[in-house]
A and B are shown apart, each in its own frame.
Chain A
Amino acid sequence: MNCDEFVELVTAYLDGALDPATERRFIDHLAQCEGCENYLDQFRTTIQALGELPAESLSGETRDRLLAAFRDFPRP
Chain B
Amino acid sequence: MDSRTVLSPLPPDDVLTVRLAAGDEEAFRLVLDRWSPGMLRLARDFVSTRASAEEVVQETWMAVFRGIARFEGRSSLKTWVYRILVRTAKARGVKEQRTIPMSGSLPEAESDAGPTVDPSRFRGPDDPYPGHWRPGQAPAPWNAPEDRALVSEVRRVIGDALAALPARYRVVLSLRDIEGYGSDEVCELLGITAGNQRVLLHRARAQVRRRLEEYFGAAEGAADDEL
Q: Which residues of A contact B (CB under 8 A)?
A: 2-5, 7-8, 10-12, 15, 17, 33-36, 38-39, 41-43, 45-47, 49-51, 53-60, 62-63, 65-67, 69-71, 73, 75
Contacts and interface: CB of A to CB of B under 8 A. Distances in A.
Given A41-B141, A42-B212, A53 B1 contact: no
Contacts of A65: 58
A65 B25 CA distance: 13
Contact of B202 (A10, A38, A45, A71): A10
A73 B202 contact: no
A46 B209 contact: yes
Contacts of B61: 66, 70
A36 to B, nearest CB: 8
B23 A63 contact: no
B80 interface: no
Interface size class of B (residues with CB under 8 A): 35 or more
A34 B224 CA distance: 13
Contact of B116 (A7, A15, A57, A66): A7
Interface string B200-220: 011001101100110000000
A70 B28 contact: yes
B130 A2 contact: yes
B71 to A, nearest CB: 15
B158 A2 contact: no
A35 B208 contact: no
A11 B198 contact: yes
Contacts of A10: 202, 205
Contact of A33 (B38, B132, B178, B208): B132
Contact of A69 (B2, B29, B33, B62): B62
Most chain B CB within a 10 A radius of its CB, from A34, A42, A67: A42
A71 B140 CA distance: 55
Contact of A45 (B54, B130, B142, B206): B142
Given A11-B201, A73-B66, A3 B209 contact: no
B52 to A, nearest CB: 12
